[in-house]
Amino acid sequence: MNEKKKVIYYNMAGDLDYENQLLQEWGIKDLELIQVTGNNLIVDVKEAESLTLEYTQVDADVMKNLPNLKIIALQSIGTDEIDIDCADREGIYVTNAPGFCAYEVASHVMALILNLNRKIGVYDEAVKNGEWAPFSGNKIERLQGQTVGLVSLGTIPKALIPMLKGFGFNVVFYSPSKTDEDAKRLGITRCDSLNALLNISDIVSLHTPLLPSTKYMINETTLAQMKEGAMLINTARGELIDESALIVCLKSNKISAAGLDVLIDEHNHDSKLIGMDNVIVTPHVGFLSKQSLLDARRVALEQIVTRLVKVTRPDTALNKEMLTVR
């Protein structure tokens, strides 16, 4: 009898009932799903042929010391913690779950925009404190006719576009890999540069992945390019923004408000942005719904089955330069 291939879920919350149910429905019998907890990845998952984890660095040292590892299957879009270049050299596929939470994050962007504009939280707190003063706050601007600038044009901003149009926004975007044909198909306007987008947008929403080229892309210089009183939304990665520079602009009202689902340091929760009157911070929750979590788990398991059972390249593999496969 062939030994089952070891599929390790490392420090992942919950059980694997859903995954085991899927395997049964798919008729897959040669995978063993194992939950492992610990704090020494190399020691804890030595025999892993597949690895699913989150918020854990997987670098060259880890990969070289897991000789059986053939795939790292993430239940997320971002892959910040994985050294994909090393995975290429080691012949290990790295997969993610693109688009699994596009609707949820797009909805979260809309919620942040509407809350900041309509001051829902401010008025709710005032009423709970016994104040019934609808004209006590700053004046509220009509959203209809304002311009929202989308930085990048992946699955999340594409899900956001019809929501924005439904509220009467003009939509522009900047993405080096997209063309005027993409813009025409979506009924929006392409900007030739980030600065061009910042110059004309009343609201800027960040959706780009965190790369060396995008780290701190919103900084003192680019913030200066934004319209006076513009709003900034970030549901992507905290390190896209130089928080010190943003704080200065928020205090001066150069930036009227910010809606942030991500911060640079999401462990200590000590950012000065938390508690500012014109900032909403949520705890990296934009992706969340019961349905999105199940979608991510299913997609990750599909990649594992493709690699370990069908022995072919997974559909969502991110490897670009892999020459040999383990």
**Active-site annotation, residues:** 237, 266, 284
From the number of C-beta atoms within 10 Å of its C-beta (0-12, 13-18, 19+), residue 86 rates as middle
CA 126 to CA 132: how far, in whole Å? 7
Residue with tokens 């795939």: 71
The two tokens of residue 145 are: 């006719």
CB 299 within 8 A of CB 306: no
DSSP H or E segment with residue 231: strand 230-234
Comparing C-alpha atoms, which of 144, 150, 151 is closest to residue 167? Answer: 144
Stated as kind and residue range, the H or E segment containing 60 is helix 60-64
Query: Hunting for tokens 């005032």 — which residue is that?
Result: 126
294 closest CA partner among 26, 7, 14, 8: 14
232's tokens: 């900034």
Task: For residue 318, give the nearest of 22, 58, 122 by alpha carbon.
Answer: 58
Instruction: Give the span between the Cα atoms of 17 and 31, in whole angstroms.
Output: 14
Q: In 91-239, which ranges are continuous DSSP H helix?
A: 102-118, 120-128, 155-166, 180-186, 194-200, 220-225
Taking a C-beta distance cutoff of 8 angstroms, is the pair 232, 255 a contact?
Answer: yes
Contact call for residues 45 and 36 (beta carbons, < 8 A)? yes
Q: Which three-class secondary structure string do you get for 37-56?
A: CCCCHHHHCCCCCEEECCCC
